[in-house]
Structure formats: C-alpha cells, structure tokens
Amino acid sequence: MEKTFKIVISVLVAIALIGVIYLFMQQGNNNAPASMNKAQVKNTIHSYLLDNPAILIQMSQKLQAQEQQKQQQQANSVIKQNADKIFNPKNNPIVGNKNGKVTLVEFFDYQCIHCENMYPVVQKLMKANPNLRVVFYDFPIFGEPSQYAAFAALYAHTQGKYLAMHDALFAANDVEGKMTDAKVNVLAKKVGLNLVAMKSYIKTQMDAMKAKKNMPNGVMGSFELAQLLHIQGTPAFIIAPTPSTGNPAGKTTFIPGASDGAALQQAINDAK
C-alpha cells in the first residue's frame, strides 16, 4: 500500500509539473524570462506547487474517480459476459432466498480481517432483505491455512452444513495469521463433521489446487473470476438483479473492497 501510494504521488507530481509548464506556455509569466533554463523552470514549478498544494489533492481525487469509473465499467462488462457462471455456480454455496430477485455475490477469505468485519453486515442484509439471494465465493488468498479453512467449509457444504461452518469460522476470530488447521478441525468437530472424511476431502482438493487441476469445489472458479474482474484482495462484492428472475432494468454494482451496510443496501435497492 505504501509503495502504491508513493507511485501515485510521483505520477501526480510529474503530471503537475507538465501541467504547470503547459500553463506557462499558454498563459505566459511576466516574471519569467523569454528563455528559462532547466534550473529556473524547476524552481518556478517548485514554488508554484508550494503555493498551490491543493492542486495535487484535486488531481488525486479526479484520478481516483476516473479509475473507479473505469474499473466499474470493465467489471460490468465481465459480469454481463459471465453472468450465468457468476450468479448460478454449480458448486458454490447459495444462501438466503435461493429464489430471490436480487443476488449479492461475495468473494472472501476467512483470515481477512475486513471480511470478518463485513460478516455481520452481510448477515444483517440477509435478514433485512427477504428477497436477497447470496452466493459465496471462497477466495483463500492468505496461504494454506486459508485454503484449509475454505475447503473445510466447502466439505461442510457437501454435507448440508455450510452455514454452520461458515459462521463458526468467522466467529472464531482467527484472522491475520491466527488460523491453523488444528483450530479448523476443532470447529468442524463442533459442527458435527466427520473429520476423517473432511481431511481426505481437503487433501484431495489442496493437491489438485497445487497441481492447478480444476476440481469441482468452487475455489478454482473463484480465482478464475477474480482474475477476470481484477480482484486483488478481499472482500469484494457484486450486487445485481438475479438473471432470468430479477428486474432487467436493475443496476449492477461492483464493489472491490470493504464497504458498509448503507452502501450495500443502496446497491440492493438499485438492483430491484
């Protein structure tokens, strides 16, 4: 994040320098000689930026808005082209009202603190919107402990106990490197899963993942879609009219990061 920030600032400064030079060329400068050497130009621009620091903030805000708009447009195009794959996956858990006319898709990792913070927000949205359909995409990007937890939850899905395991994993608060396979096993046992069968399932899935084999577990699909949508972290959300049953005129919203209940609720309202 810090490196990205420095790069953005460097780019903005460079753009600002070009912009100031352009202003001098277009408007002239009574205090500037007809021909300025490199040092004089540099000093003049330096003084201008010191006197007008707000220009960098304005440029940053404008650049951010443009990037967000561009990302939203690109995401909407990908979502439209892959609507059936995204909203009607064969192996992902679908909860809430499975016949709901609005669908919320979430990409998440059980070790992600922002995902944990969003967990109760999503729960409240499901209760407040009885017509909401929720599709979960386990997207374990924080290493093997996250993968183990994701596959444990997906094994629970095969046993009809996904939500119980999903809730237990987030309630454990094992984020930012605290999660271990042993802790996941304890939770699985409490949920009532067969640990021998679960471990066998997880090993098969993780071996396949290392070999980059496309197993029918939902996780590989998560990575493929995340790549198409340029999702680089968790959480990420898509809120849209459910294909074939939702309002065709409803709005699709892509949120590549943590949000709040009000913003997500507005997206749900826009999709109706």
Q: What is the pTM of this model?
A: 0.76
Chain-wide mean pLDDT for the chain? 84
pLDDT of 7-30, one tens digit each? 555 555 555 555 555 555 444 445
Distance CA 133, CA 13 (A): 45
Strand partners, 95: 134
| Residue 97, token pair as written in the block | 């009202």
Q: How far apart are CA 18 and CA 59, in angstroms?
A: 13
226, 236 Cβ separation under 8 angstroms:
yes
How do residues 90-107 score in pLDDT, each as one tens digit?
889 999 999 999 999 999
pLDDT in tens, 49-74: 777 777 767 766 666 656 666 776 77
DSSP letters, 52-66, are -THHHHHHHHHHHHH
